[in-house]
Amino acid sequence: MRQLIQTVLLTVISLPIVALEETSKRPELAIGTMLGSLILVLACIFLFAYLMKKSNFIRQGGSKNPIKVIATQPLTNKSRVQIIEVYGKQYLLGVSEQSINLLDQIDTPSVEQQVETQSVPSFATAFASVLSKAGKKNNE
């Protein structure tokens, strides 16, 4: 295993030297080598970005994030309603470009638990009922 790693490292280190020798003999290969290197670097950048996105490391900021987004419902292009959970308590928030407003604190059982036990259309019904309760509470 160690010999395989040494061989791979030696090959990777010696590739630029071989490419330099080839391009000094044939200048038309210089552009191809440069484009090949550029494509390889861009592929590595996109691969690492994809892996970081899949691991949720950037978004979550580690594993001890107390804030969790349960559900999001867009209202317009720039505003939405979100249910978030902070330390076991759930809140209904109205989010726009200019502000974030607390619409309601949800006292019912966890919406996330309801989603696990019900199908997706039932979740939409539950979310609509939470919104209507928040609207009634604000009108009173």
pLDDT at 2: 72
Please report the pLDDT score of residue 82 as a whole number.
92
Domains and CATH numbers, the chain: 2-59 (no CATH), 66-139 (3.10.450)
pLDDT in tens, the chain (140 residues): 677 777 776 776 766 666 666 666 666 667 777 888 889 899 989 998 888 877 765 555 555 778 888 888 998 888 999 999 888 889 999 999 999 999 888 876 555 555 554 445 566 677 777 777 777 665 65
Reduce the secondary structure of the chain to three states and give it as a string: CHHHHHHHHHHHHHHHHHHHHHHHHCCCHHHHHHHHHHHHHHHHHHHHHHHHHHHCHHHHCCCCCCEEEEEEEECCCCCEEEEEEECCEEEEEEECCCCEEEEEEECCCCHHHHHHHCCHHHHHHHHHHHHHHHHHHHHC
Q: State the pLDDT at residue 98.
A: 92
